[in-house]
Amino acid sequence: MADLILASSSPYRRQLLHKLGLDFRCQSPDIDEAPLPHEPAEALVRRLAEQKARAVAAGCPQGLIIGSDQVCVRDGLILGKPGTRERARQQLLAAAGRKVTFYTGLAVLDAASGVLHSLVEPFSVQFRPLSEAQVERYLDREPALDCAGAFKCEGLGISLFERMEGRDPNSLVGLPLIALVELLGRFGVEVP
């Protein structure tokens, strides 16, 4: 099997990929992640996942490269990583009582052959109504400033939800493992 390379610097994606028990290494792709004018969320994440895989493949001609990208969408608006506590607060209050959908683009590229398989995995979260005090308490304990949507579902963020809808909750963290196993299988990588 070719070297398996995760085209990401995300510690969250690295932790998820470890669950599959595969040997891999990480390499950060250097791409412009800005959306194109009027680009829908699904097209954006697929394009970026593919670009990340191709960027890393340029320096790893024998690698099997995994690229992934994610956006959070509420009412048709793409939400980025908040970066600051105030923006996290605003994102969480705006999501209170509403449905938020995460789109995760996933690409697997065989650098040697140029064969690429990609998909977009949706996953939705229905937030429960939240008071400002609840949001502040959440942010005190788990700021999640580097997470789209300003929460970590694998931590205290789960307490913010009424329900989740989708086939793979790993999608919320940024790497849909069920879909990844399917795509890796197309390249002869069997898990387990």
Number of domains, the chain: 1
Q: Which of 69, 110, 146, 168 is an active site residue?
A: 69
In a domain, 134, yes or no: yes
- pLDDT band of 80, cuts 50, 70, 90: confident
Task: Name the packing angle between helices 85-95 and 132-141 (round to 10°).
Answer: 130
In a domain, 192, yes or no: no
In a domain, 179, yes or no: yes
CB atoms within 10 A of CB 36: 9
> In the prediction, which pLDDT does 113 show?
96
Query: Is position 146 annotated as part of the catalytic site?
Result: no
- The distance in angstroms from the start CA to the end CA of the chain is 15
Closest to 151 measured CA to CA, from 76, 94, 91, 106: 91
Locus of tokens 């509420």: 74
Range of the domain at 153: 4-186
- pLDDT band of 154, cuts 50, 70, 90: confident
For residues 68 and 60, the answer to whether their CB atoms sit within 8 Å is no
> In the prediction, which pLDDT does 79 show?
86
In a domain, 165, yes or no: yes
pLDDT > 70? residue 1: no
| % of residues, the chain, pLDDT over 90 | 85
In a domain, 191, yes or no: no
- Average model confidence (pLDDT) for the chain? 94
